[in-house]
Each structure stands twice: as C-alpha cells, then as structure tokens.
Amino acid sequence: MRRVTAIFLFLALAAAAPAATTDYLLGESVRQLGLRDAARQAGDGKSSERYVAPGGLGFYAEYSRDHIIVDGIKVMLDDAVGSQRGHLTISRRDYDKVFVPLFWESPRGPVRRILLDPGHGGKDTGKINGAQKYNEKAATLDTAARLKLLLEKQGYEVFLTRNSDVFVDLEDRPAFAAKLRADLFISLHYNAGPAGDDTADGVETYCLTPAGQRSTNAGKARSTTAAEPANRFDGPNLLLAWSIQRRMIRTTGSDDRGVRRARFSVLRTLACPGVLIEGGFMSSRREGALIAEAAYRQKIAEAIAAGVADYVGRARPPAKATK
C-alpha cells in the first residue's frame, strides 16, 4: 500500500515537474566523469564554468549558449546551457551524447580500412566559385586524393567512392562503405553561403544527429527526430568529428563553425562511424580563392589525417573514480 502511494506520488511529481528537472548540474555531472573545476564566473546572465579532465582536455560553458568550447573547438548542444541557483545546467541528452563520448568513453573498433567520399561529381558540380572558375566536385576529388596518400602513409587501406569526375548516387556512398566493410567513412565537401553573400566563411564538421534530437542545420524547426541505423555510432561519430574539426581549425586558422549534426543521407545508413566535412566556403571571396589553391587543400587533407590519428590513438580514460 505504501509502495503504491509512493509510485503514485512519484508519477504525479514527474508529470508536474518543470523541464529544468530533466537537467543536470554541469559541475556535479562532469565531476562524475573525472573532470575537475578550473574556473567559475557567476554574474548577471554571464555565468561561465570551466573544467579540466585528467589528461588536460578541458571545456568551457557559458549560460544560454547553444554550444560548449572543447579544447578551443565549438561543439553544438541540443539544448542551450541553463542555470539553477547560480550553477550551470545541461540537459540529460547533451550529457549522454556530448559529454560522455568526449570526456569519458567512445568504444571504438580497430580502424584498418577507410572510405573517403569526395562529394558530388559528374552532372552534380556542387558549389561553384565563378571568380575562380573552380567547383566543389573538383575540390573534393583533389582533397580526397591528397588525403588518401596521407592515410596510406599512416598504414590504412584507403578507398574512394569515386576516383574520377563521375556522378555517384547519394545512397550508393554509404552502401559502398558497407560492402567494403570500411571502419571509417569521411565525406568531403566545400560550402556556400546564401546567393550573393561572398563574406560567409569558416569550417564545420557534421556527424549524424542522435535520435530524438534536432539537427543543427534544421533551423528552429524540429523536423524529423527519428532514429537512424548509424545512431549506434553516436559516440564515435562525435569524437571523430571533434578530432577532425580541431585539427582543421588549428591548421587553417579558419573561423570555427563548430561540430554540428545533420541527418545527411550519406551518414544515416552507415555501417561504421562517419562524418561529413565542409572544408570552407566556395562562395567566399577570400576562402573561395584559398580553396582554389592546392596548398589549402593539402592543409585540409593533412588536418583530416591528423584528426583520424588523434581519434584512433586516443587513450581510454582512467577507470571511473569511486565515491
């Protein structure tokens, strides 16, 4: 009888609970992951907290922001950073899908075979930079060829979804990864801003949106939030995206548009971890000119190769501290 009352009371409370109770206190939750406090600033709408992991990896969070900064790199959250009595809070799903994979664990299988996916091809030119007379399909194929050489030097078996200027269906790209039994999939793209905008620039890396979450490219609309087959790699997907984005920003000095999430068709059905990279804006007067230069594409390739090495070589975190 008492138990029934307790269950009923729990259900009544859960139903009436405000959204905030589904949040975790940031400090409390990341200390469980072995991080320690590094800095804290409380103030009118400008609260921020900083934490450091035993290996030195740290992050910075600020009230109301839609992202955190992890070792200098912007990682988009599903819910903005909240606050409870002067302490920052994060949502449970961000704890599970961002903090745990980045700071605690991302079970990763061995990586031997990598499939590179130069975006577009053939009748699909992708983005075009008229001033440079250069287009995305040529830039992605060239970047893939450079990256292949670098990854082969690291000892991987590397394949491309296309080796020449041919059209490849979007669905065939992840299907090829499954057929090859690839261990990683990296799709290469270059971006473009709205028509007539030649100033938007920066580099961003996408991984598949976790089930139930909004894609960062979907505006405010919560379009589909369905689960996809490749959601079983949510942790490794994010870790790979962050590892590559970090190296790209450090190498190019480009504007960091962050680690983002989308349900791109090339990512949804993958049978291995994968990411989609936007290595700069074809449409930008400044960046478009850079992308047309071999030296920039080589830098991007070197950064991605270094990001893959970081992902593969990342040591497992120390055993969880017991209370």
Q: Which is nearer to Zn ion, 108 or 257 (CB)?
A: 257
Q: With CB under 5 A as the contact rule, which of the stretches 51-59, 123-131, 193-201, 204-212 interacts with Zn ion?
A: 123-131
Q: Which of 34, 82, 121, 126 binds Zn ion (CB under 5 A)?
A: 126
Pairing of strands 113-118, 157-160: parallel
Question: What are the angstrom distances between the C-alpha of 143 and each of 189, 292, 303?
Answer: 9, 11, 11
Does 119 engage in binding with Zn ion (CB under 5 A)? Answer: yes
Query: Cβ neighbours of residue 23 under 8 Å, at least 6 residues apart?
Result: 79, 82, 84, 89, 90, 91, 92
Instruction: Name the one range near Zn ion by CB under 5 A: 106-114, 117-125, 173-181, 267-275.
Output: 117-125
Distance of CA 215 to the CA centre of its chain: 11
Among 189, 260, 261, 299, binds Zn ion (CB under 5 A): 189
Residue 136 C-beta: closest distance to Zn ion, Å: 5
Q: Would you call 112 helix, strand, or coil by DSSP? A: coil
Nearest to 111 by CA among 67, 150, 158, 73: 158
CA dihedral 306, 311, 313, 316 (to 10 degrees): 150
Q: In whole angstroms, what is the distance from residue 102 CA to residue 282 CA? A: 31
State the residue number with the nearest CB to Zn ion: 189
210 touches Zn ion (CB under 5 A): no
The residue (of 34 and 121) whose beta carbon lies closer to Zn ion is 121
280 sits near Zn ion (criterion: CB under 5 A): no
Is 288 a binding residue for Zn ion by CB under 5 A? The answer is no
Instruction: Count the site residues for Zn ion by CB under 5 A.
Output: 3
**Interacting span for Zn ion (CB under 5 A) from 28-36, 65-73, 189-197, 305-313:** 189-197
* Site of interaction with Zn ion (CB under 5 A): 119, 126, 189
